[in-house]
Amino acid sequence: MPQPPEERVHVVDYDPAWPAKFEAERAVLERVVAPWLEGGVHHVGSTAVPGLAAKPVVDIMVGVRDLEEARAVIPRLAAESYCYFPYREYFHWFCKPSPQRRLFHMYLIEPVHPQWRARLAFRDWLRTHPDTASEYGALKHELAERHRDDREAYTEAKEAFVERVVALALNL
């Protein structure tokens, strides 16, 4: 599958403007995705956790009734500067405004998919467990240094931590 050009990995201190940026995008997405929307529009990822260091890219998870049916929204999202890239089979992935300058990552996913529940559980656990959030922030800084030029390696290196926290949050 074609991948967007790589943007360097850099982690910054929490920006209190991130929630407002999400809210502005939520309004756009709720309007554009309305015919397919199911489960809501959620701020996820590290920018959704007050005080947590993050890549300065707001992650948004949008629930859709049917992933295949939701392909019809791709041109509408393109009109709102969302760039679509096939990435995983279980969601449609977008960035905005461009792969070279990402301010938002957004994906459409069916709320019945296990990743829906996992991503919300991870976010909520970090919001209510500051020690875990601090540990995650330190890991992100370390991995950003190690994998500065490889976003996929950075993401993969966080997986064990994320899986451990999701298991705790979901009592698995």
Give the domain ranges of the chain.
18-169
* pLDDT averaged per 10 residues in sequence order, the chain, 172 residues: 63 97 98 98 98 97 97 98 91 93 96 97 98 97 94 94 97 78
Which one is the CATH code of 18-169: 3.30.460.10, 3.30.460.80, 3.40.640.10, 1.20.1730.10?
3.30.460.10
User: Which residues, 6 or more positions from 169, have their beta carbon under 8 angstroms from its beta carbon?
Assistant: 121, 122, 124, 125
Amino acid, single-letter form, for residue 156: E
* Contact indicator for 64, 70 with CB cutoff of 8 Å: yes
Report pLDDT for 87.
80
pTM of the model: 0.92
CA distances from 48 to 45, 60, 66, 116, 169 (A): 6, 9, 25, 15, 16
Report pLDDT for 6.
58
